[in-house]
Amino acid sequence: MAVELIKERKTVAMTGNQAIAEAMRQINYDVVAAYPISPQTELMGFFAEYLANGLVDTEFVTVESEHSAMSAIIGAAASGARAMTATAAQGLLYMYENLPIASNWRLPITMVLVNRALSAPLNIHCDHSDAMTARDSGWLQLFTENSQEAYHSLIMAVKIAEKALLPVIVNMEGYIVSHTIGNVNLFADAEVRDWLGESDWRTTVPHPLLDTDHPVTYGATALPDYYTELKYQQHVATWSAKDVVKEVLREFNELAGTDYALVEPYKLEDADFAIVVMGSTAGVARTAADILRERGVKAGVLKVRLFRPFPVDEIVENLKHLKAVAVLDRHDSMNGLASPLFQDIAASLYHLPERPMLHDFVYGLGGREVTVEDMLKAFNRLINLYTGKETRSSFVDYLQVRE
Amino acid sequence: MKLKGWKELPIGGIVTQPGNSREVETGTWRIARPIVDPSKCTDCLICWVFCPDDSIPSNGKIRFETELYHCKGCGICAVECPYKAIEMVSEADVILEELKLIEKK
């Protein structure tokens, strides 16, 4: 039985990796499998220490690759275990072929993705290009702004995954959050365990492999006569997962006294111009909006917490009245219309008779520092495009590139 | 077999009944079917041994009629039959014969 370490709530200065390891300890996963990759290595190091000290009941599988990590977790979850892994960048790409399988099999897996830029060039720092590759894999995706949100989100993710029967990625920005100390309000261990409920292999998934009285086959072929029906099943599940996320956020807010929502507006009600952003950059964007408001510009920010399923209605509701919107993508889709967040927002607004002008800014690649000045630059460019002072040759600007 | 709709399938395409591949009609793949000449067949059951599917039913003594729901028309039985009692007839010819019968009626 897991040891009760924290008996009442307390605030501790922690890095994101420490906070995630703490959440993992409190969740007391049945199975964790992982392979080290910066900036995730430290996270699993902290957790391994808890394991070595006998604080958790987890079966920790130290596999030889990320491909095996995801395979082990899929097997564990199909057996009925509460299972988790964490990775980053190339690690996610190496496990990639297993991601759509976990989703179609409807396995309630949680994964922490410590966001890191993809090679090449080799870079261990943050951007969202790893997360964006998982965009169409059928996994749900939450983005987080700081250690506190990362800690909360992993706990929420377990419940979301088990209610929706879908795997969930919790994005935590590499180094910016994973290795930066901030205040984290920790729950008492018992609170987390009560809120999530005891992990029970008989009920975690509808057909656990451990139920040897009712043997089942996972991974059977579905030929052209059945593939469509099984994909549609997944399609319906992923879209209706939005309601599950809403419900779990509501329950969580009650427990924690937080105010989490699928998307989080900042001074948008009377705004003319806004930045839409995910992750830690929301903070500097809000500061930039405040500075602009002091100068008489009605600026606001929309932070997107739930990226998949994409909260179309909530996005439309918050952006429809604006004059112009700058979408910030920490990733470049390279040869699409623009980057993923922009594409989704543009598509969400398309059916409106009148909609805000949109511009996409690629920023923060490979850990490039994002400052308030950068956000002001994006706002200024957006306003100049809107007023016609400046023109554009495409929908995308690189916000921070040197000529 | 009536195909199931998306709501009727166990989630994730999980197979909950062992051996339910029997329900899948594979006979539609066939381009030729084995026709047995009863005057040559001795019920030696060599065809039953060699059939890679379970398309040749038998009680251990008698070879029953070929089970065309699953027979893919591979022709192994025709090749292995020691008495040359099995002939592979093109499905197109079978259909043409059936059409002729309908016309006569």
Question: Could you tell me the residue ranges of all domains in chain A?
Answer: 10-256, 264-398
Q: Tell whether B51 is covered by a domain.
A: yes
Cα B97 from Cα B105, distance rounded (Å): 13
pLDDT digits (tens, 9 = 90+) for A351-396: 999 999 999 999 999 999 999 999 999 999 999 999 999 999 999 9
Does the distance separating the beta carbons of B15 and A229 come in below 8 Å? no
Which distant-in-sequence residues (6+ apart) come within 8 Å of A325 by Cβ? A273, A274, A275, A276, A319, A345, A356, A357, A358, A359, A382
Q: Is A240 on the interface with B (CB under 8 A)?
A: no
Q: Tens of pLDDT along A301-330? A: 999 999 999 999 999 999 999 999 999 999
More confidently predicted of B98 and A286:
A286
Confidence of residue A191 (pLDDT cuts 50, 70, 90): very high
Quick check: is B52 in a domain? yes
Q: What mean pLDDT is predicted for residues A175-192?
A: 97
Which among B5, B14, B15 has CB closest to A229? Answer: B5
Q: Do B12 and A230 touch (CB under 8 A)?
A: yes
ipTM for this model: 0.87
The answer to whether residue B15 is domain-embedded is no
Of B10, B13, B18, the CB nearest to A215: B18
Q: Distance (Å) from the C-alpha of residue A216 to the closest C-alpha of chain B?
A: 5
* B103 alpha carbon, distance to own chain's centre: 27
User: For residue B5, is it within any domain?
Assistant: no
Q: What tokens were used for B82?
A: 């020691």
Residue A181 has pLDDT above 70, yes or no: yes
B53 within some domain: yes
Residues of B in contact with A220 (CB under 8 A): 13-15
Q: What is the CATH number of the domain that holds B70?
A: 3.30.70.20
> B86: domain range?
24-104
Q: Which residue of A has its CA nearest to B7?
A: A233
A106 shares contact with chain B (CB less than 8 Å): yes
Q: Do the domain assignments include residue B3?
A: no
Chain B hits for A75, Cβ within 8 Å: none
Q: How far is A164 from chain B (nearest CA, A)?
A: 12
Q: List the single residue in A with minimal CA-CA distance to B24.
A: A225
For the stretch A60-71, pLDDT in tens is 999 999 999 999
CATH code of the domain made up of A10-256? 3.40.50.970
- Residue B60 covered by a domain: yes
pLDDT digits (tens, 9 = 90+) for A23-51: 999 999 999 999 999 999 999 999 999 99
Looking at A91-105, A174-188, A357-371, B21-35, which range is the least confident one? Answer: B21-35
Q: Which of A177-186, A252-261, B15-24 has the lowest mean pLDDT?
A: B15-24
Q: According to the model, what pLDDT value does residue B24 have?
A: 84
Position A315 scores a pLDDT of: 98
A232 touches chain B (CB under 8 A): yes
Is the CB of A212 inside 8 Å of chain B's CB atoms? no
pTM above 0.90, yes or no: yes
Partners of B9 on chain A (C-beta within 8 Å) are: 226, 229-230, 233
Q: By C-alpha distance, which of A355, A363, A361 is closest to A381?
A: A361
pLDDT for position B22:
85
Q: Fold for A264-398, please state it.
A: Rossmann fold (3.40.50)
Query: So what's the pLDDT on residue A336?
Result: 87
B9: nearest CA partner in chain A = A230
Q: Do B9 and A233 touch (CB under 8 A)?
A: yes
Region B61-67: mean pLDDT is 94
Residues of A with Cβ-Cβ distance to B14 under 8 angstroms: 105, 207, 216-218, 220
> B15 to chain A: nearest residue by CA?
A217
Tokens for A81? 């275990």
pLDDT tens by residue, A78-104: 999 999 999 999 999 999 999 999 999
B→A contacts (Cβ < 8 Å), by residue, are 3-7, 9-16, 18
Do residues A130 and A171 lie in contact, with contact meaning Cβ atoms separated by under 8 Å?
no
3-state secondary structure of B49: helix
Task: Identify all chain A residues contacting B7, using CB atoms and an 8 Å cutoff.
Answer: 233
The span from the CA of A399 to the CA of A142, in Å, is 24
Number of folded domains that form chain B: 1
Residue A335 confidence (pLDDT) above 90? no
CB contact under 8 A, A229 and B11: no
Point out which residues pair with A62 in neighbouring strands.
A34
pLDDT, position B21? 82
What local confidence, expressed as pLDDT, does residue B2 receive? 84
Among chain B residues, the shortest Cα distance to A100 is held by: B12
Paired residues of A169 in beta bridges: A111, A141
